[in-house]
Amino acid sequence: MMKSLLSTSTSKKSDSSAIAGAGCLTVVVCRAKNLAAMDSNGKSDPFCKIECQNCPQVFQTHTQKKTLDPVWNESFPMYIGTLEASQTLTIRLFDRDLIGQDYLGKVSIPLSKLIHESGDSLEAWFPVEEEPTENFNKGTKLPGELLLKLHYPKTASLRGAVKRENPKKYYKIEKTLGQGAFGEVKRAVNRKTDRVCAVKILKKKKLEEQSKKLLEREIAIMSKLHHPNIVELIEAFDTPKNTYLILELVTGGELFDEIITRDKSYCEKDAADMVRQILLAISYMNSMGISHRDLKPENLLLDEEHNIKITDFGLSKDFTAEGQMATACGTATYVAPEVLLGSNYGVSCDVWSVGVITYILLSAHIPFDGDDEGQVFERILSGTYTFPSPIWDNVSSKAKDFVSKIFIVDPKVRMTAAECLDHPWLNMSGEKPSAPLNNNLLKHLGEWNTSQRDLRNREKATLEFSSASSEASDDVDWESRSTQTQGGV
């Protein structure tokens, strides 16, 4: 079923001037400090432009309002082909003004630094060069710095392959974390590094041939993804009886579980911060031509630091490899109109799903409900929804505008993930804290979450295992999930 893994190691430092790895350099622009203040009020509206040799695209972070120590935490995939010592990554910083922009300096990084790293990643503070000599900083200005994370999978072609050996040689497989229809998830510890992981064990005798092909595709897609808001596939193994996926262990539970058990008020800005994290990951995936196709609350997990992690890539597709899709798949409540129609569609279907999640986060109701499945589908296809009172009375006009610009039936007119990130609702860092949402929202959200969990238990589709069976013929059985679409939450 699986391709064999070539034996290559990155444990030793490389003395090569070029490495033919994944072809994709992931640049995470984390934060900056001590930037030049170009406004008379002593502040700045900073953003970055990122470019690299051999990559035709120029990427840009989103503006952080009025701060000299901005935090972006934005990830950008740059297709550079072979990693070469002669290549330079350049990041220019600007201050957005009412008219135009002021230059704040640049960071230049020779990629030879990454070549000679022992692993695939480099994280460091880099000095800002060419800073303006005239500024409005208070007191003595310290040198500006930019924190970056660079990742180039030097053996990524191997990451997508599967080792034909027993994982117990490399991992101590410990207690069971959960079970599903096709296998189980256990705790695992790397024998060499002591890194704690999760191992998803799939019993091959329970997988049909089509499901095995889907599993191969899931591995191939996850091996390309390296983002702080996506669960990482570390490696995979294949034995005569089982397939093992070694995954990043995420221990914070599901996103909605955290919301309903928090001991503090739940505000609109909390929802905006969550949606922003989801969209950062979706924008990253979509820029690589990859669509998740099954975004829903149970596929949004939290790590120990409460960062969102997207999981379950069983229905995902690489549009660059397979072209536009025409398969009706996903979960009915969250599916885009073009997917329901089975017409040719692209990565914009993920944005629609984010819109549904946003609507639920703000109201604890689903946007497209009905007395039966047919009525639900009709409302999705026509884009018919409302912002009923009193549920939406405390929700801002910016949030409603954000949702409205997603729930556009024509995917060509709908906002892209990148455009969503530029929407004013997701850029409220300089505004006053928003008031708590409807007092009963957390109660209703908890009731809805419980009903969804009961439904998943009845369908025996827990712990991501739906990815191995959801597309038995590359189609989805909407009927089995119809109860998710009926009525309000």
Q: Do 212 and 280 have their domain in common?
A: no
Per the CB < 8 A criterion, the answer to whether 101 and 94 are in contact is: yes
In tens, the pLDDT along 394-447 reads: 899 999 999 999 999 999 999 999 899 999 999 876 555 566 665 566 666 666
Distance CA 353, CA 357 (A): 6
Give the range of the structural domain holding residue 386, as residue numbers without chain letter.
255-485
Please give the tally of structural domains in the chain.
3
Q: Is residue 10 part of a domain?
A: no
Instruction: Please state which of the ranges 3-7, 25-29, 79-83, 127-131 shows the lowest mean pLDDT.
Output: 3-7
| Two structure tokens written together for 358 | 């946003």
End-to-end CA separation in angstroms for the chain: 42
What's the confidence (pLDDT) of residue 186? 95
Q: Is residue 44 part of a domain?
A: yes
Domain closes at, from 210, 225, 248: 248
Which active-site residues does the annotation give?
A: 294
Q: Do 203 and 133 have their domain in common?
A: no
What's the confidence (pLDDT) of residue 35? 93
Q: Do 376 and 398 have their domain in common?
A: yes
Count CB atoms within 10 A of the CB of residue 324: 12
What's the confidence (pLDDT) of residue 144? 95
| pLDDT greater at residue 413 or residue 325 | 413
Count CB atoms within 10 A of the CB of residue 402: 22
Q: Is residue 12 part of a domain?
A: no
Q: Do 290 and 367 have their domain in common?
A: yes
Query: pTM for this structure?
Result: 0.71
Helices (H), strands (E): how many in the chain? 12, 19
Q: Is residue 6 part of a domain?
A: no
In tens, the pLDDT along 238-257 reads: 999 999 999 999 998 888 88
Per the CB < 8 A criterion, the answer to whether 250 and 231 are in contact is: yes
Q: Do 353 and 404 have their domain in common?
A: yes
Whether residue 116 has pLDDT greater than 80: yes
Q: For position 142, which CATH number holds? A: 2.60.40.150
Per DSSP, 192 falls in state: T
Q: Region 445-462: what's the mean pLDDT?
A: 55
Q: For position 457, which CATH number holds? A: 1.10.510.10
Q: How confident is the model at residue 357 (pLDDT cuts 50, 70, 90)?
A: very high
Whether residue 389 has pLDDT greater than 70: yes
Q: For position 200, which CATH number holds? A: 3.30.200.20
Domain closes at, from 210, 228, 248: 248
Instruction: Please state which of the ranges 108-112, 274-278, 481-485 shows the lowest mean pLDDT.
Output: 481-485
Q: Is residue 3 part of a domain?
A: no
| Two structure tokens written together for 176 | 């069971």
Cα 222–Cα 226–Cα 231 angle in degrees, nearest 5: 60
Q: Do 284 and 244 have their domain in common?
A: no
Per the CB < 8 A criterion, the answer to whether 204 and 1 are in contact is: yes
pLDDT above 70 as % of the chain: 78
Whether the upstream peptide bond of residue 390 has omega within 30° of 0, thus cis, is yes
Whether residue 374 has pLDDT greater than 70: yes
pLDDT above 90 as % of the chain: 41
What's the confidence (pLDDT) of residue 442? 63
Distance CA 2, CA 212 (A): 9
What's the confidence (pLDDT) of residue 481? 37
Q: Do 92 and 174 have their domain in common?
A: no
Q: Is residue 2 part of a domain?
A: no
With both helix axes pointing from N to C terminus, report the angle between 268-287 and 397-406 in degrees, rounded to the nearest 10: 30
Q: Are strands 101-110 and 290-291 parallel, antiparallel or unpaired?
A: unpaired
Distance CA 426, CA 420 (A): 8
Q: Do 275 and 417 have their domain in common?
A: yes
Closest CA to 350 of 392, 313, 304, 302: 313
Q: Is residue 4 part of a domain?
A: no
Domain closes at, from 248, 275, 310: 248
Q: What is the mean pLDDT of the chain?
A: 81
| pLDDT greater at residue 483 or residue 185 | 185
Q: Region 268-273: what's the mean pLDDT?
A: 91
In tens, the pLDDT along 182-216 reads: 789 999 999 999 999 999 999 988 888 778 888 88
Chain Cα centroid distance, residue 368: 24
Q: Do 175 and 220 have their domain in common?
A: yes
Instruction: Please state which of the ranges 143-152, 159-168, 462-471 shows the lowest mean pLDDT.
Output: 462-471
Whether residue 81 has pLDDT greater than 60: yes
Q: Do 259 and 242 have their domain in common?
A: no
Q: Do 181 and 322 have their domain in common?
A: no
Q: Do 288 and 140 have their domain in common?
A: no
Q: Is residue 64 part of a domain?
A: yes
Q: Find which of 67-81, 195-209, 441-455 is predicted with most confidence, using mean pLDDT.
A: 195-209
Q: How far is CA 144 from CA 193, 219, 452, in A?
A: 35, 41, 49
